[in-house]
Amino acid sequence: MGFKAPIEEYRFLFNQIFDLDDLLQTGDFGDADKEDIDFFLETVAKITEETIAPLQRAGDRHPAQLENGVVKTSPGYRKGYKTLTESGLVRISADIKYGGLGLPKLVQNALNEFVNGACISLGLNLLLTQGQIEALELFASEEIKDHVIPKLLSGDWYGTMNITEPQAGSDVGGIQTVARQIDSGEYEITGQKIFISWADADFSQNVCHLVLARLLDSPLGSKGLSLFLVPKYLPNSEGHYKIRNQLQILSLEDKLGLHGSPTAVVSYDRALGKIVGLPNEGLKAMFAMMNSARLGVGSQGVGVAEASLQSAENYALERVQGKSRDGQLLPISEYPDIKRMLAVMRAQVFVARAICSYCAYSLDKAKTTKDQKWVDRAGLLTPIAKYFGSETGVEVSLAGIRIHGGVGYIEETGVSQYFRDSIVTTIYEGTNGIQANDLLLRKLGKNGDTVRTLVDEIIEKISSMKPDGSINASFILEAANKIKEVTNWLMEQSDQSSRLAGAQAYLRSIGLLLGGYFHYLASTHSDANDNKKVMALVYFKRIFPQIHTLCDEVMVGCSDLDTIKFD
């Protein structure tokens, strides 16, 4: 049985948890209603199941290749890309003014998961273009917007992000690529970038690179960076993009996973580009793309986790080992430890999906209400969504291998690909350690007010609900107050190292609290089925208690680490 898009899971989230109908009525999302969006969900689900999912193994077994300076993509990717772009997936949340559909990010997040669950390597291409469009809408000149965005939306062009250099990874202030303005007003870009996802392909007319570089008279460090749009092809005298720009794909990386997605070293030798935004404010513009990509990476992790879970469930139902007491052959799904693993995996996927959806919903509310509360909420949830989505992808896909046993370790079965593909999601667009630092240093608000507001809302909502006999709401309330206590402790620490040593534990504890909140809402809703109630029980008994251990770890600080010496 192949991949099935989790359409019913999103129908439940849209109707019972996040109230998509209210969002559509109160926001500026065009004329679309819930019926239109449901039709869109069904259409994209069918495309991902029938056309995109078969490309998952093709990309892994037949990676992209560099031939004479041109990237040759994996078998079937050209058709898959054409099908995805023609379906309108790139247009989902883009501004109607430029040809977008203007739909909520809540919907875009769901559809992105469908694509990534089917084939994460090809899905990454769409995520990059979606992020570039968002950055251009916010910061580019009207000339660039009017000329470039429609081409990106059509799929004729696609976008990339060029940040990393050999000496400048997480420390972007070390970027050495330079930009020199010429008489035409354009800029010549010179330098080398590494780890550039989808730097080239043989299925699009042009590739638009967003490149961070430093003007010759700009200061050193991150405050001296500007952002430039550098296309693979430049226009000729007739306006047709046929002239090759001075950039070159030097090599493709041989990676652990994501084989269908070409990751390149790119050289710029006085390549022509146009500035996006103001000089020395490139990082601000690039972060618009990165924040979009971070939520997208979270959806990648959820998609891979869902695909791996489906594979593990199908195998466990079919694989017969041993007999019952009455002599009946037993599928391994009947063994307690396998049941436990599958149940925990399903509970984890629900949490990661709900958190990513909540982040997308908060972005929509921030856009429509202009309320600072929702702006802060979206900022707080972005690193949590990226972290939880990607970590869930790794944890669930590893469990999937173990459920398959020996055949899971054999490459021919394709089970290990989910694990290999998912690992990079914890690394790119800012490692998960950086996400935790970002949360702790920039997203908590003054004196931790942003996270306290979130926790107080959870406490208020749970306290107002009718108690459920199977789940004790006091578990959630106790954990929520524990996180408030830990937040107070963090705010009191003058030593930054003491705070950062527990950053990942702190982020994870907030994510687990959100998971408990969403499981409780889902299991107590009148439309909840027995599966939702069982998954909530599993979560509260086997996963949720980790919050207390994590909170204790946060308050250890750095005292035990300070004595460690590495030779």
Query: Catalytic residue positions?
Result: 429
Q: And the tokens for 523?
A: 């299991």
Element (H, E) at 217: none
Report yes or no: 507 and 436 within 8 Å, Cβ to Cβ: yes
Q: And the tokens for 327?
A: 């002599």
Q: Looking at this protein, which amino acid is placed at residue 271? A: A
Q: What is the DSSP string of 145-158?
A: HHHHHHHHHHTSEE
What gap in Å lies between CA 178 and CA 163, rounded to an integer? 12
Report yes or no: 241 and 233 within 8 Å, Cβ to Cβ: yes
> Which alpha helices (DSSP H) does 48-180 contain, by range?
55-61, 77-86, 105-118, 120-139, 142-154
What gap in Å lies between CA 263 and CA 74, rounded to an integer? 13
What gap in Å lies between CA 510 and CA 476, rounded to an integer? 11
Report yes or no: 242 and 232 within 8 Å, Cβ to Cβ: no
To the nearest 10°, the Cα dihedral for 160, 166, 170, 175? -80
Q: What is the DSSP string of 239-302?
A: S-EEEEPSEEEEEE---SS-TTS-EEEEEEEEEEEEEESSTT-HHHHHHHHHHHHHHHHHHHHH
Q: And the tokens for 253?
A: 């990386």
What gap in Å lies between CA 49 and CA 55, rounded to an integer? 10
Residue 413 burial (10 A CB sphere; 0-12, 13-18, 19+): middle
Query: Phi and psi (nearest 5°) for 179?
Result: -130, 135
Radius of gyration of the chain (CA): 24
What gap in Å lies between CA 460 and CA 237, rounded to an integer? 64
3-class SS of residue 44: helix
CB-based contacts of 239: which residues, under 8 Å, 6+ apart?
Answer: none
**DSSP at 168:** B
What gap in Å lies between CA 533 and CA 538, rounded to an integer? 9
